Amino acid sequence: MVFHIRPETAHFVDREDEQERALRAVAEWGGGASRPVTLAVSGLGGVGKTELAFRIARLLRERYAPDAVLYVDLDEARRDGAVEVADVLGELLRDLDVAPEWLERSFAARRRQYWARTADRRLVLIVDNARFGSELLPLLPASGDSVVIVAGQAPLHDLAEGEAVRIPLGPLAERDGTALLRGLVDDPRLAAEPEAVAELVRLCSGLPAALHVAAARMRRQRRRPLSRLLEGWTADLDEEGLPVVEKVWDAAYGELGPDAALLYRLLADVPADGCPAEAVVALLGRGPEAAEEALEDLEAVGLLGGGAGERVRLPELLRAHARRRARRDGAPAERAAGVRRMVRWYLRQAQRADAAAAGPRLTLAAPAGPVPDAPDVPLPEAGERDAAREGYGWLARERHALHACVRLACEAELDAEAWALCEPLWTHFVAFPQHAAAVESFGLGVRAAQRLGDVRALARLRCQLARPLWELERFDEAEAELRQALGAVSALGEAARDRRLAASVVEFGGMLAGARGDWSAAAREFERSREMHRAIGNAYGEMLQTYRLGEALTRRGEYDRAAALLRQAHEAAGALGRARMTARTGFALGHALRGLGRREEAAARYLAALESARLRGSEHEEARVLAALAALAEESGDAAAAAAHRRAADAIRERNGGLA
């Protein structure tokens, strides 16, 4: 289990009443409740809501020993103002040890899966940046022993009374603000100039975020009287930004050297969850040493949420301030150059991670070259030990940055990079489906390919866009994308690569038909794709489409022809040395044989597939085969064997968080 509790801040003052109220509410909730207790912390940006949420979570972990502490930031899943809750449920289920192959793909199924996974757990869930109660309700664990801590700027007015314990959080009082300053900076001026201290706390509006920046400035300018230090902060405030605090941040920014100030402005384009230090080197474009020094300068004045060696990030309020400074001080060419470097760096790393994760496959984008003076992240080559795990892991960690880079690339008219980023994002989507993000990014990729007039990229991206659309049951939109993809490939030539791409588009058409339950249409498309692969001598493509065709015919009840085709696919997969496909085709052949009433032969195929699944450590496939064996035993009248197989399959599903 995971414990998403970030390191505690070195100095935390006040909030005793809020903490006591939260702990009392949890204690009074007691066991046996039918829903978790929800603590709704609300207040101004920079007032310390998220830090209080984590502090409460730490206290609960000490006193109540939860099974896990989970954290989600709803702004990371927000598209056009709305949260794609299915994607958030997917993130939570993955944190609850549900492997990608067990993750349900629809919202309704994921919600049931989440309820099942959390029913007997004692969890603490922190939900950051919630705007509405409707965003929160689907995320509530099913266990009444769990606690949900919500942080947001506004109270969740659409929650009825009793649905949440409301904990409003105001600015620090002068006494507490002074105490925080004394903790942040050991400075005799705090005792010598009490009036100036009071003015500084007032100027910072009692917001901890602003007081941290003010303390950083005091540490850097220890010789100047505090009253003089305040002179630059007391002018009339700019209309933009958070009232009062803007001048504090402006003053800190004014102390930065040229490289640090440039990096601060450029960091406004980095996603909220940050980026690795190597990406910062690419973003600044002045080499590792300059980037390291710029990061140190930003940390010194309090304008950074993470430093070198960690994920580098700006808290959201500081990102907004950095954007304003970029508009005022930065030239458009400066931002364009930074975005171009960061996008190209991420494209290169994503392509390397894609190759490690998925191995050799048909890709259309040219490999991105190194970004000058910017190091690559360490990733194994395809086929090396743990290559797939490391590749998928990198894509998962950087998914928010990769989707952000697609948006940035489109805005900057880096169209070749925009659609090229969608190829590794496809590898991530197939393993870790996040539908809203995929629809947005693949749609942007389509538009980028259109502007370039790249017919091949356009066909590929329309296919990629179609799948999340049909999985969201937006079948007509998916069909329109595939129809246009077919139109695009019809304009291509007779080169083997183009014909292989055309066969892939036809295959997607068959998959869409299957998703709609039209197995006759699916069979026609898979047969057509198979002939296209055969014509260009692509043995793997022909084997795959033979398998898909056999499965479609099995769904239609044409067992004789299905069995013959699946036997061909099974033998071809073995000859190609494809262990997983050999097992899958053998399992599918078992279904066709079972439909023909040849139960002993079907059982032999199922048992071979079961052995293969266990050898490869694939519990998902093992459970699927055990379920088939249970059904076969039931048809044969062997109730005891059926029950044993079913119990074994259910145990595996329960262990992995799958639905029964």
| CA–CA gap between residue 608 and residue 293 (Å, rounded) | 60
Say what the pLDDT of residue 33 is.
Answer: 67
Say what the pLDDT of residue 192 is.
Answer: 84
- Tokens matching residue 158: 């659409």
Say what the pLDDT of residue 306 is.
Answer: 47
Say what the pLDDT of residue 382 is.
Answer: 79
| CA–CA gap between residue 49 and residue 208 (Å, rounded) | 10
Say what the pLDDT of residue 459 is.
Answer: 96
Residue 557: enclosing H or E segment and its boundaries? Answer: none
Compute φ and ψ for 312, nearest 5 degrees: -90, 125
Say what the pLDDT of residue 552 is.
Answer: 97
Say what the pLDDT of residue 182 is.
Answer: 87
Residue 340: enclosing H or E segment and its boundaries? Answer: helix 332-358
Say what the pLDDT of residue 305 is.
Answer: 60
- Tokens matching residue 616: 């490869």
Residue 495: enclosing H or E segment and its boundaries? Answer: none
The string of DSSP letters for 224-286 reads S-HHHHHHTT-SPPPSSSSTTHHHHHHHHHHTS-HHHHHHHHHGGGS-TT-B-HHHHHHHH-S
Q: Is residue 294 classed as helix, strand or coil in its secondary structure?
A: helix
Question: b or e along 40-67 (b: 16 or more beta carbons within 10 Å of the residue's beta carbon)?
Answer: bbbbbebbbbbbbbbbbbbebeeeeebb
- Tokens matching residue 124: 């603490």
| CA–CA gap between residue 99 and residue 291 (Å, rounded) | 37
Residues 6+ apart with CB under 8 A from 602: 590, 591, 593, 594, 632
DSSP state, 210?
H
Residues 6+ apart with CB under 8 A from 478: 465, 466, 467, 469, 470, 512
Average pLDDT, the chain: 89
The string of DSSP letters for 440-472 reads HHHHHHHHHHHHHT-HHHHHHHHHHHHHHHHHT
The string of DSSP letters for 577-614 reads T-HHHHHHHHHHHHHHHHHTT-HHHHHHHHHHHHHHHH
Region of 537 on the Ramachandran plot (φ > 0 left; ψ -120 to 50 alpha; else beta)? left
- Tokens matching residue 585: 């085709």
Listed residue (419, 417, 430) closest to 358, CA to CA: 430
Residue 222: enclosing H or E segment and its boundaries? Answer: none
Say what the pLDDT of residue 184 is.
Answer: 86
Say what the pLDDT of residue 32 is.
Answer: 59
Q: How far is CA 340 from the centre of its chain?
A: 23
pTM: 0.82
| 598, amino acid identity | R
Say what the pLDDT of residue 342 is.
Answer: 97
Residues 6+ apart with CB under 8 A from 387: 356, 357, 380, 381
Say what the pLDDT of residue 232 is.
Answer: 55
Could you say which residues of the chain have pLDDT below 50?
A: 235-243, 306-309
Per-residue pLDDT of 552-572, as tens digits, reads: 999 999 999 999 999 999 999
Residue 17: enclosing H or E segment and its boundaries? Answer: helix 16-29
Listed residue (491, 521, 495, 516) closest to 506, CA to CA: 521
Between helices 288-300 and 277-284, what is the axis angle to 10°?
A: 100
Q: How many residues does the chain have?
A: 660
